[in-house]
A and B are shown apart, each in its own frame.
Chain A
């Protein structure tokens, strides 16, 4: 029980579909993250939100669109994905620091296993 939940746990979608991944944290944290995890590769940081403001966008294609309506919820909107986008998408949160990058320990959700056909 990590206090970070993600839905759905599994998702299969076609390249023309639009879907959204949801993350919710119950830890009272102020920073939230989206990562992509592919087999035998390092975690790839996609987006960072600190106090609901996006502070990082690591050259992620525009077919991935994040949304952070409050410090407890984070969404990843998906549209016109490619088969190479198939991966495990992990959400994480950390306590965060006001006015700057988070330096604290990140706690992860169980991930959404995404398959793009």
Chain B
């Protein structure tokens, strides 16, 4: 079966750095997405990786290793507004998105 694993919950301190990991086992691979979802709101697109390596967008970076079936989202200079759930999703060989259950990130002052 297809599976996306990410930690259920993480806690970090304002101003610090946090890394949220995502491992996947899917039938084929056509890209990996990270979304942010604040409580009661829509998931919003953060990043897309299809080739190995690091993609940087301001305070957020996303890394992919296709050979290891692994990605991480790196958040720097954490702010209170970064408290949210972070969803990892992989597009399989049929171009369907397979979703993880999300990681709830709690930022403490």
| Chain A positions near chain B (C-beta within 8 angstroms) | 2, 4, 40-43, 45, 56, 90, 100-103, 105-111, 113
- Interface contact B33-A111, CB-CB below 8 Å: no
The count of A-to-B residue pairs whose CB atoms sit within 8 angstroms is 49
- Interface contact A105-B100, CB-CB below 8 Å: no
The interface on chain B, measured as residues whose beta carbon lies within 8 A of the other chain's beta carbons, has a size of 25
- Interface contact A42-B33, CB-CB below 8 Å: no
DSSP class of A's interface residues: helix, strand, loop or mixed? loop
- Interface contact A101-B95, CB-CB below 8 Å: yes
B73-97 interface bits toward A, Cβ cutoff 8 Å, 1 = contact, 0 = none: 0000000000000010101001111
Q: How far is the CA of A110 from the CA of B42 in the complex (A)?
A: 4
In the complex, chain B residues 11-53 whose Cβ is within 8 Å of any chain A Cβ? 30-31, 33, 35, 40-45, 48
